[in-house]
Amino acid sequence: MESEAKQKQKQHPRLILHNFLSDDQCKELEFIHKSNSTVGYRPNVFSTTLSHLIATNSPHLLLPFVPIRETLKDKVEDFFDCQFDLFIEFTGLISWTRGASIGWHSDDNRPYLKQRDFTAVCYLNSYGRDFKGGLFHFKDGEPTTIEPLAGDVAIYTADSSNIHSVDEITDGERLTLTLWFSRDASHDEDAKLVSLLSQSLSHYNEPGPCLPLPASSNMYWFSPGQSSYQQLGFDICWARLHVLGFDVYYDQDTSCDLDFSDLLMKPLRLARGNELFDQEFINILHALQVVQYYCWKSSTLQTSKFQIDTCKVVELSHSQMEKINRLNHVFSKDNQLAETVLNCMTCESRQHFLDWANFVSSVSLWRDYASKLHEELVRSLPFWRTHQSIFGVQFNGA
């Protein structure tokens, strides 16, 4: 007779992979999410979808996902014995912040989700170190509880065999890469993404990286509960800069009556304390990507030979500081809300220490990073179009 453990495994099929992702893969995906995320599908949740990256002129940031998606799909097909039978239905980075939770449910529990057959949740940061709360529980079978650890993956069926819940986040930000798989070809994410990429790149001929373009402002405006823009909330792009100790400064006249969408698109400079970094960014998303890239790479950067005066860091005038304070009230209706929602348990040292010389280096390194990915994307797209599928392309001499 089969053991009770094997019977439960058949009844509640699931696979736990440890150290599936490297630390740098986790950090790269964290960089992508924290420099592009929008308001998510649930309260206190933020998301970054692949279609959103394309829509905001950052299609090259799809490349880091490609090998992960391929390998995960193989793992799911092998474990559930459905080789060559699956399509990736959704790929997204999802973070849960303080107050977010979900009760018992299956991932196909709505009529519009019935196409989902399998789920893969990749943990990109760790319980206890990066966030508190947020434990993952299965209602039946083993393991009953998963303590998220960066690099680990939980794979399971999306039906009622694997009903699960997530405890409320009490501190920090819990980050995952989540994929759903379907046997229904009409829900193939790849074909839709290839179409969007073809449209996006057909009118882009400039050398170098695509510079990001923010989406509509309501996608970045976080409001607790159902409160309106005028009552409470904050802009996510501004808030992610703010919790790291940065403010935004516009040289142009920026009245508080200015349309918020226009403000997100305007060129700006970054300030920190009483210092102003004298380099212009094309828009707030551009500035955020560079800052988050610096956070990702700061521990590996060599101290630059630049002198502080070469870094073009100048002291803010009294009028400039007043202008920044006025702008902060435009970007946030509650001064404490951003810190409460986006509190990062591991970013305190980043907030209080900044090497301006290394930050200058990061501006050019970010550009090199984006340019390399963009070049690879342009070379891969013809193959993706032919196969209507996104996969790693091996180039001669690469």
Q: Where are the domains of the chain?
A: 13-206, 217-375
Q: What local confidence, expressed as pLDDT, does residue 143 receive?
A: 95
- Compute the distance between CA of residue 179 and CA of residue 189 in angstroms, rounded to an integer: 10
Query: Which residues does 305 contact at the CB level (< 8 Å), separation at least 6?
Result: 357
- What are the start-end ranges of the H helices in 283-398? 284-297, 318-331, 337-341, 348-352, 356-387
Q: What are the per-10-residue average pLDDT scores of the chain (398 residues)?
A: 59 95 98 96 94 96 98 96 92 96 96 96 97 97 97 98 97 97 97 95 66 90 67 90 95 66 92 94 97 92 57 91 93 86 67 79 94 95 97 80
Q: What local confidence, expressed as pLDDT, does residue 354 receive?
A: 83
- What's the whole-model pTM score? 0.93
Backbone angles phi, psi at 242, to 5 degrees: -65, -45
Q: What local confidence, expressed as pLDDT, does residue 70 receive?
A: 97
Question: Is residue 191 exposed (0-12), middle (13-18) or buried (19+ Cβ within 10 Å)?
Answer: middle
- Compute the distance between CA of residue 38 and CA of residue 48 in angstroms, rounded to an integer: 6
Q: What local confidence, expressed as pLDDT, does residue 310 receive?
A: 58
- Compute the distance between CA of residue 338 and CA of residue 246 in angstroms, rounded to an integer: 13
Which has the closest alpha carbon to 346: 302, 298, 303, 300? 298
Backbone angles phi, psi at 133, to 5 degrees: 80, -165
Q: What local confidence, expressed as pLDDT, does residue 1 receive?
A: 46
Question: Is residue 282 exposed (0-12), middle (13-18) or buried (19+ Cβ within 10 Å)?
Answer: middle
Element (H, E) at 172: strand 169-182
- Dmax (CA) for the chain in angstroms is 80
**DSSP SS3 for 347:** coil
Report the residue count for the chain. 398
Q: What local confidence, expressed as pLDDT, does residue 350 receive?
A: 53
Query: Which residues does 327 contact at the CB level (< 8 Å), separation at least 6?
Result: 247, 248, 249, 250, 254
Give me the DSSP letters along 95-134: EEETT--EEEE-TT-SGGGTT--EEEEEE-S-BTTTEEE-
Q: What local confidence, expressed as pLDDT, does residue 379 receive?
A: 95
Q: What local confidence, expressed as pLDDT, does residue 337 receive?
A: 87
**Lookup: tokens for 275:** 């210092």
- Compute the distance between CA of residue 176 and CA of residue 251 in angstroms, rounded to an integer: 38
Question: Is residue 30 exposed (0-12), middle (13-18) or buried (19+ Cβ within 10 Å)?
Answer: buried
Contact of 191 with 388, CB cutoff 8 Å: yes
For 13-206, CATH gives: 2.60.120.620
Give me the DSSP letters along 355-371: -HHHHHHHHHHHHHHHH
Contact of 175 with 108, CB cutoff 8 Å: no
